[in-house]
Structure 1
Amino acid sequence: MARISGIDLPRDKRVEIGLTYLYGIGLVTSQKILAATGVNPDTRVKDLSDEDIAKLRAHIEENYQIEGDLRRLEAMNIKRLGDIGTYRGRRHRQGLPVRGQRTKTNARTRRGRRVAIAGKKKAPKK
């Protein structure tokens, strides 16, 4: 079983895809890691040798910030924005879009689903 940075990689997927299960590693980064370590991207995770796993683990740990460290860094950056009182920090705190998107419509991902106001009377039918 391939375990990198506390995460078990899915056994039946190709290594190229399996590495993307680590927070902070996408497909392009995964391809760069495999090229640098010389591991064939078409091999399945279950078919990796122990030395291949060790090479991948060593390369990732020395060259990339992933998982908990990356999450902590992002949280600290957002906290710093809020502490110095920037516009972006306020938007993060309020749970609104940060990068200038419109909020009158769309923005459901950040704002959440809206529910109707309870007890509001409907207009009588004519």
Structure 2
Amino acid sequence: MVANRSVEQEKYTVARIAGVNIPTNKRVLIALTYIHGIGPAKAKEITAKLGIAPERRVQDLSDQEVLQIREAIDAGYTVEGDLRRQTAMNIKRLMDLACYRGLRHRKGLPVRGQRTHTNARTRKGKAKPIAGKKK
């Protein structure tokens, strides 16, 4: 015989929001930051708007609450693939315009005015050896 369970009693093993598997053992506020495009501030805004306590664990949320979070994110925020695509298109637009920032992106150099004589190794890549430089 199958027992009827209420929505509140069901525990989540995996919550999937915006195409991302959210860790269930973490607090809602922290778990939402696993979605690309949602940081701590937006996560706090979402939980406050929906009236969900930020310190609650994802596994303690009901199906209805997870659905509310999913709908709020879909309705009001650009996240994951759409955000990555939008960022890539913005960079491509700069490169097509051949403006200063676009040229810096094209050359793989820092875009926001940082010095390149020394440092900038993250953006420029591994240092190239110079022939004839021996001790």
In the alignment, is residue 21 of structure 1 matched against residue 34 of structure 2? yes
Count of residue pairs the alignment pairs up: 122
Map 1:68-83 onto structure 2 (within 5 A). Answer: 68-83=81-96
Give the TM-score normalised by structure 2: 0.85
Distance of 1:115 and 1:104 partners within structure 2 = 14
Aligned-residue Cα RMSD (Å) equals: 1.3
1:48 alignment partner, one of 44, 61, 74: 61
Question: What residue number does 2:134 align with?
Answer: 122
1:33 alignment partner, one of 46, 54, 65: 46
Letter in 2 for 1:72: R
Distance of 1:11 and 1:44 partners within structure 2 = 7
2:100 alignment partner, one of 84, 87, 92: 87
**Structure 2 residue matching 1:23: 3-state secondary structure:** coil
Cα 1:52–1:85 shift into 2, 3 Å? same
Q: Percent identity?
A: 55
Letter in 2 for 1:20: T
Distance of 1:78 and 1:122 partners within structure 2 = 40
Question: What residue number does 1:100 align with?
Answer: 113
Question: Hey, which bits of structure 1, 4+ residues long, moved more than 4 A?
Answer: none
TM-fit CA distance, 1:121: 6.0
**Which digits, 9 at most, give the CA deviation of each residue in 1:16-67, with x for residues without a partner?**
0000000001001110011111111011111111111001000000000000
Letter in 2 for 1:97: P
Letter in 1 for 2:103: R
TM-fit CA distance, 1:109: 1.6
Question: What residue number does 1:12 align with?
Answer: 25
**Structure 2 residue matching 1:8: 3-state secondary structure:** strand
TM-fit CA distance, 1:105: 1.4
Distance of 1:12 and 1:115 partners within structure 2 = 45
Unaligned runs of at least 5 residues, structure 1: none
